[in-house]
């Protein structure tokens, strides 16, 4: 440890410099002169750091690879032996007609279990993981700001949910188109739309699936603020998801079905009708929005006042 030359360090900054006060000349190059400019950039930095934490981790790469295995499997299996029309999981029989359906079939297969597992483990890790490592106390002492930290973490979870969905759809579509070809897409209503619109519809489905998963991110984030055990938070989020799916399958509970977080998840097929049917996807988006609002608020209320003891 050599005695550092104080001249090489940035000049000490007094608190009046710390607030981006426009009357104070920018002390250092790169400092936003406009009020809030530096703060916005700083949010960008923490957000990038958060993304790096998720996407720079090998464990998560393995998880994404597992998600990609399903569309590969679906395509190969369909190539070997295609199910008769109307048989097998939704959309799988249609793959032979248009490879684009492999994306939809893969999403349909992964939405009940694999995608929620991925989202639950990442969102469960969000706060509980940092608490478990002890890094949370250092982030808060910086100070990162509790609301800001939570907002950045939620934003990163949204990016992860979108990435996972798009990745599954992309791998499915590329492989499907390579194996079975593309062309005009026959909608579930029987009419055909041009290939470009078929791609657009697929992206619309991805957006819908992402919205469903974002609601799960919010739930996972809230659970993550309750514990210092990331695995426990992930499992609890998974239990909630599967519990909702089971309750949704019990006819005697039909009165509450539409309030279950997973109830509208598989309604994305309606986006492939001509014209698009909003009878279930509309309420589905509303439900996801409500769950997202409810649980991000709950997470904020819980995290904002919590003693950090780890």
Q: Which of 23, 81, 87, 143 binds other proteins (CB under 8 A)?
A: 143
Phi, psi of 90 (to 5 degrees): -50, 140
Per CB under 8 A, contacts with other proteins among 56-115 are 56-58
Which of 36, 282 has the CB closer to other proteins? 36
How many Å apart are CA 184 and CA 197, to the nearest integer?
8
Within residues 21-60, the interface with other proteins by CB under 8 A covers: 28-31, 38-39, 41-43, 45-46, 48-49, 52-53, 56-58
Residue linked to tokens 């009940």:
112
Among 11, 178, 246, 286, binds other proteins (CB under 8 A): 11
Asked if 138 touches other proteins (CB under 8 A), the answer is: yes
- Candidate residues 51, 140, 192, 231; the one interacting with other proteins per rule CB under 8 A: 140
Residue 157 Cβ vs other proteins, minimum distance, rounded to whole Å: 17
Contacts 24+ apart (CB under 8 A), 53-58: 53/156, 54/122, 54/156, 54/159, 54/160, 55/160, 55/163
Among 167, 199, 204, 308, interactor with other proteins by CB under 8 A? 308
Residue from 68, 102, 111, 149 in contact with other proteins (CB under 8 A): 149
**For other proteins, the closer CB: 160 or 180:** 160
Rank residues 85 and 134 by Cβ distance to other proteins and give the closer one. 134
Query: Which one of 34, 35, 137, 258 is in contact with other proteins (CB under 8 A)?
Result: 137
CA distance 131 to 303: 11
C-beta closer to other proteins: residue 11 or 256: 11
Token pair, residue 49, equals: 């750091």
Q: Which is nearer to other proteins, 136 or 236 (CB)?
A: 136
Size of the site for other proteins (CB under 8 A): 51
**Pick 149 or 213: Cβ nearer other proteins:** 149
Gap between the Cα atoms of 224 and 206, Å rounded: 26
Binding residues for other proteins (CB under 8 A): 1-4, 6, 8-13, 15, 17-19, 28-31, 38-39, 41-43, 45-46, 48-49, 52-53, 56-58, 133-135, 137-145, 148-149, 305, 307-309
């Amino acid at each position: 440890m050599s005695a550092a030359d104080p001249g090489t360090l940035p000049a000490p900054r007094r608190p009046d410099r710390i607030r981006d006060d426009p009357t104070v000349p920018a002390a250092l190059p790169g400092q936003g002169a406009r009020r809030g400019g530096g703060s916005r950039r700083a949010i960008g930095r923490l957000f990038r750091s958060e993304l790096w934490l998720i996407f720079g981790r090998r464990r998560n790469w393995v998880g994404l690879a597992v998600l990609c295995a399903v569309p590969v499997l679906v395509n190969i299996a369909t190539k070997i032996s295609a199910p008769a029309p109307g048989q097998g999981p939704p959309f799988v029989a249609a793959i032979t007609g248009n490879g684009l359906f492999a994306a939809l079939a893969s999403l349909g297969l992964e939405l009940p279990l694999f995608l929620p597992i991925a989202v639950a483990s990442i969102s469960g890790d969000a706060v509980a993981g940092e608490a478990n490592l002890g890094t949370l106390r250092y982030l808060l002492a910086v100070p990162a700001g509790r609301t800001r930290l939570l907002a950045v973490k939620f934003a990163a979870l949204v990016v992860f949910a979108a990435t996972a969905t798009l990745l599954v759809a992309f791998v499915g579509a590329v492989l499907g188109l390579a194996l079975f070809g593309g062309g005009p897409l026959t909608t579930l209503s029987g009419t055909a739309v041009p290939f470009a619109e078929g791609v657009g519809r697929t992206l619309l489905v991805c957006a819908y699936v992402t919205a469903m998963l974002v609601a799960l991110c919010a739930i996972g984030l809230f659970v993550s603020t309750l514990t210092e055990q990331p695995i426990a938070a992930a499992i609890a989020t998974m239990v909630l998801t599967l519990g909702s799916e089971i309750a949704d399958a019990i006819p005697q509970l039909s009165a509450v079905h539409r309030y279950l977080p997973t109830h509208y998840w598989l309604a994305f097929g309606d986006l492939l009708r001509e014209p698009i049917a909003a009878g279930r996807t509309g309420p589905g988006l509303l439900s996801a929005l409500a769950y997202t609002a409810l649980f991000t608020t709950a997470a904020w209320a819980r995290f904002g006042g919590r003693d950090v003891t780890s």
